[in-house]
A and B are shown apart, each in its own frame.
Chain A
């Protein structure tokens, strides 16, 4: 009997341990993240999530990687139906604003978040009276001209430097295209956000003092007229904006295939630039082109947003707390070759694993981030920024094809945004 005791105790202990293990497994909070990648954001997050789960056995994280379009179109519907993920990587915060979870009560140190991520937290808020913390930016992006230096060198045309205007850039790009028999001088991503940077440089104000967005003013019109003209005289590759209706389209492939000399895109393309172009040709990032409104691109980026529907708000906050901590966030940015949205990290040099061209590009994007105007930040954070961007793309595209005049396009942009605002406000 006594001889049996140790065995019995061992068996009982093993059974209890197994039961305990099962219980903790059964009680593990499941967190589901809907994610899309510009480069490698989702795989990089998976690596960090696995490390986090090793130290937090009570949390189980699943990352569902899906196309950007699916996030944009499906996640808001899932959330409305009460069937959404716990966290999603979102770039259009206005769409999911009603479903966002204020993480403030769950965060270990909300004050740290306010200090480290202050300006970009506004982008997820619904207005000046909203002080919630709804998520963590997975990057800070900056739009800027990306230049095929090899083509410029072949043409003997100097790359426009600090203080150059968009007119200077367009003229230089057209000269390079002509000299090197490249089909087009420039291409801009088909995106209202991309257009807005140059428009702000040109003097567009986007907001009345009361805060209502009229979108179209003299600065906006000046840039729209130039943009349409450049599309029609083949300075810009109109295929990008015109051949496809609907939403976003980038011009990366055109640039990577050497068909354009200057490409207006942004820092999120860095991983692709490194991977796809490599040593194919020399490329550099240019200074933000200037105008009467300043020398600015557009800030932006996607963030991990938490949702009210989650059954595990504490665990969601714990994971985001982990990602937001400075060393982990710095590692994450290095892994994904992204600019940090963390203000302290913006002042430090991160040890990016990039080629010399990539490092130079990253430094230039960082320098351009410093010249972003407050208006650009405000526009990006406006709940109506997406309707403004979409109306801009739709109507300017119609004007380029000649379906409507520019004046009609201005009227339609104004009425489209007013219509979207009215629909949003209808309760």
Chain B
């Protein structure tokens, strides 16, 4: 009896709550011109977006045109394009040492090399792993979880784990010494440290991209494979003519997300190597961070200019993604 009364009470409360927006909505429908009601729904989100995304972008543009070390915009002298010209002043763009801002150009070239290597290798390994995990193998569930597990870790934790493995007295060298080999200074040589940043990044993120590709593989209708099997098509041809073309949308997503993420690389590497040895693993975001927030003389304008250049690269990559995902004529999705 009491339970029923309580139940009714909750029901009335719930109904009242659900009906709460009805009056204002009716009012809005009656008073707003046709097609404008949508603005009411997206308005709050747009306001947040404007304050926390658009405004910082505008401020970034302003800072990029100012100099000095003061943080407050009102205390910063206007220098126009000086920060950009300083960043781009180079005798030979292939030789960072010939540039006014050599660290920026080390960062540019390191990032470029990192992006090409990391994205290509990650795509390859993610695809290979997804193909294997899509088969009916023993312990498939376990392997799917195992490959995805690093994605759940914080980038700082990932970097600390690998630092513990790779440092001079780390686990890897201890194992090598135990096996009678000489220890190797993994993080002291420029090329080796660079290679490890690529590896650690792939290790940390591969699971996520494998998952996307796995979902793409599972979306391919089984009857196409059955038809191929009836035609006795060899596995390589099946992969090349059926799997890969039908997986292309997923591959494109992985490619573009991977590219954007690779250009933005910072956290793992910052903890693992701090950008060293020398500038061998200093990437673009770390350069921006060092220039604007870590150096004793903080050049916010220079950091803002570098961040706008980075934003330009990311914009191009995003446009490629949008273009790639747009359905073409005759595409059944369109």
Contact = CB atoms under 8 A, between A and B. Distances in A.
Interface of A: 73, 76-77, 80-81, 92, 94-95, 98, 238-239, 242-247, 386-387, 390, 397-398, 400-404, 408, 412, 420, 423-424, 426-427
B296 A244 contact: no
A247 to B, nearest CB: 7
Contacts of B299: 423
A427 B185 CA distance: 46
A77 B277 CA distance: 28
Interface of B: 67-72, 77, 79, 97, 102, 167-168, 185, 187-190, 270, 273-282, 290, 293-299
Contact of B188 (A239, A424, A427): A239
16 contacts: A73-B293, A239-B185, A243-B167, A243-B273, A244-B274, A245-B273, A245-B275, A246-B270, A246-B275, A246-B276, A403-B280, A423-B67, A423-B68, A423-B297, A424-B297, A426-B69
Contact of B296 (A238, A386, A398, A404): A386
Nearest to A403: B278
B190 to A, nearest CB: 6
Contacts of A402: 190
A427 B77 contact: yes
A420 B280 CA distance: 23
B276 to A, nearest CB: 3
A400 B294 CA distance: 23
Given A408-B97, A426-B69, A427-B68, A401 B296 contact: no
Contacts of A94: 296
Contacts of B187: 243
State the majority secondary structure of interface residues on A: helix
A242 B296 contact: no
Contacts of A412: 102
Contacts of B97: 404, 408
Given A238-B188, A243-B276, A398-B279, 11 more contacts: A80-B71, A242-B276, A243-B273, A244-B274, A244-B276, A245-B277, A387-B296, A397-B277, A403-B280, A412-B102, A426-B77
Q: Most chain-B CB neighbours within 10 Å: which of A76, A245, A247? A: A245
A247 B167 CA distance: 18
A99 to B, nearest CB: 11
B102 A387 contact: no
B190 A245 contact: no
Contact of A401 (B167, B168, B278, B290): B278
Contacts of A427: 68, 77
B306 to A, nearest CB: 15
Nearest to A397: B278
A92 B298 CA distance: 13
A168 B104 CA distance: 40
Contacts of A247: 294
Contacts of B72: 80-81
A386 B294 CA distance: 12
A426 B67 CA distance: 7
Nearest to B269: A245
Contacts of A239: 168, 185, 188
Q: Most chain-A CB neighbours within 10 Å: which of B67, B69, B77, B270? A: B69
A244 B188 CA distance: 9
Nearest to B67: A426
A184 to B, nearest CB: 11
Contact of A397 (B77, B168, B276, B297): B276
